[in-house]
Amino acid sequence: MEFFHKVPNINFLKARKLAMGMSVVVLIIAVVSLFINKLNFGVDFTGGVTVQVAYPQPAELRQIRDTLAAAGYKDAIVQNYGTPEEVLIRLQPKQGVSDKDTGSAVLTALQKASSSVKLEQVNFVGPEVGKDLATKGALAFFLTLTGILLYIWFRFEWRLALGGVAATLHDVVFTVGFFSLFHLEFDLNVLAAVLAVMGYSVNDTVVVFDRIREDFRITRKGTPFEIINLAVNQTLSRTIITSGVTLLVVIALLILGGPVLHGFSVALFVGIIVGTYSSIYIASATALMLGVSKKDLMVVVKEDRNVDDMP
């Protein structure tokens, strides 16, 4: 089976201005949404208490809300989690009560109303922990970005490095914006997924860059435009297969991974799709606009080692 019997000849970069314009519009929407909707941060970041309980029969959410309100938790958010039998209750920290005891207090109240309720999970996160997490997440993000920039600069060239960083940034803003726009909960696992998307996106970009460099070195004629277009076309088959296979796996996680991994899988799903797009349009097109040319990549490298001696 083959998707492309010969190297396709699609003029990807011809549409680069249109694509970049679209990307800019989408990113503006993402940023505006981040300002207006903000992110629906999970308890990992905001602090507070979540209690997950399971009933033997489908849970009566209204009854649970009433029970909790009677116990003094009027602002409790009660929703189903995964299955109709399971319920997730979210509470904000309250004055006068120690947060630590909220979980057991909620459970006691629910048990009084229905003795068959079972405790599945209690998460209590103090506000200082959440803040710490947000800072660390931001730091990890910027350091990863810097690491990527330096690596591509060192291995390739600064124009490509900037292209790679632009693409990675694009993917992250898009994914986070997606979570903001659709009010999806942003928890610790989603943060991990976003950072994994960075790794994936750059992986994809580097493969295309590698081909761009190779083509610049072996082709005698041709404008940078033509050569980059050629490289994108040559790697297209690989790009689609790798992204497709990774997406298959993410779909498996999405279907069977359960509610805990749901946000994680959604972030990866979105991230991988935009990551594939961005290595073509954002990364390569940025490098082209910055004027990358043959002479920038003509470093004499001895590549004549016998492959059989390689590890």
Partner 1 sequence: MLNRYPAWKNITVILVTVLGILFALPNLYGDDPAVQISENNATLTDATTTQVEQALDTAKLPYKSAALSDNRLLVRFGDTDSQLRALDVVKKALGADYSVALNLAPRTPQWMRDIGLKPMAKGLDLQGGVHFQLLIDLDAAVQNKLQRDATDIRGSLREKLIRYEDVTLSGDAINITLRTPDDTAKAKAFISSQYTELTVTDGPQPNTLVARFSPKDVQQLRQVAVEQNITTLRNRVNQLGVAEPVVQQQGGNSIVVELPGVQDTARAKEILGATATLEFRLVDYGANAALAQQTGHIPLDDQLFPDKAGNPVLLKRDVIVSGDQLVDAVSGYDQESGTPDVNVTLDSVGAAKMGEVTRTNLSKPMAVLYIETKTENTTVNGKVVPVHKKVYTVINVATIRGIFSKRFQITGLQQEEAQNLALLLRAGSLAAPMDIVEERTVGPSLGQENIKQGFYAAVLGFALVVAFIALYYKIFGVIADLAVFMNLVLTVALLSLIQATLTLPGIAGIVLTLGMGVDANVLINEHIREEVRAGNSPQASIHAGYRRAFATIVDAHVTTLTAALMLFLFGAGPVKGFAVTLSLGILTSLFTAIMGTRSLVNWFYGGRNLKKLPV
Binding to partner 1 (CB under 8 A) within 180-199 occurs at: 188-189, 191-192, 195-196, 198-199
Count the residues of the shown chain that bind partner 1, applying the rule CB under 8 A. 88
Shortest spacing between CB 272 and partner 1, in angstroms: 9
Alpha-carbon distance 58 to 117, whole Å? 11
Report how far apart, in Å, the C-alpha atoms of 37 and of each of 31, 163, 193 are. Answer: 10, 29, 21
DSSP 217-263: HH-SS--HHHHHHHHHHHHHHHHHHHHHHHHHHHHHHHHHSTGGGHH
Alpha-carbon distance 243 to 249, whole Å? 10
Binds partner 1 (CB under 8 A): choice among 23, 229, 233, 246: 246
Shortest spacing between CB 160 and partner 1, in angstroms: 11
Q: Is 248 in the site for partner 1 (CB under 8 A)?
A: yes
Single out the segment in contact with partner 1 by CB under 8 A; choices: 61-69, 72-80, 116-124, 279-287: 116-124
For residue 123, count other CB atoms closer than 10 A to its CB: 16
Which single residue is written with the structure tokens 């208490």? 49
Site pattern 197..226 for partner 1 (x: CB under 8 A): -xxx-xx--xx--xx--x------------
Site pattern 85..114 for partner 1 (x: CB under 8 A): --------xxxxxxxxx-xx----------
Alpha-carbon distance 203 to 279, whole Å? 9
Binds partner 1 (CB under 8 A): choice among 39, 68, 117, 133: 133
Region 6-35 residues binding partner 1, contact defined as CB under 8 A: 6-7
DSSP tag of 284 = I
Q: Is 299 in the site for partner 1 (CB under 8 A)?
A: no
Q: Is 67 in the site for partner 1 (CB under 8 A)?
A: no
Shortest spacing between CB 25 and partner 1, in angstroms: 27
Of 24 and 97, which CB lies nearer to partner 1 in the complex structure? 97
Token pair in block for residue 169: 């940034």
Q: Is 71 in the site for partner 1 (CB under 8 A)?
A: no
Shortest spacing between CB 11 and partner 1, in angstroms: 20
Q: Quick one: how far is CA 211 from the chain centroid? A: 25
β-bridge pairing 83-91 and 185-186: unpaired
Shortest spacing between CB 303 and partner 1, in angstroms: 8
Binds partner 1 (CB under 8 A): choice among 143, 183, 223, 225: 143
User: Residue 227 in contact with residue 215, Cβ under 8 Å?
Assistant: yes
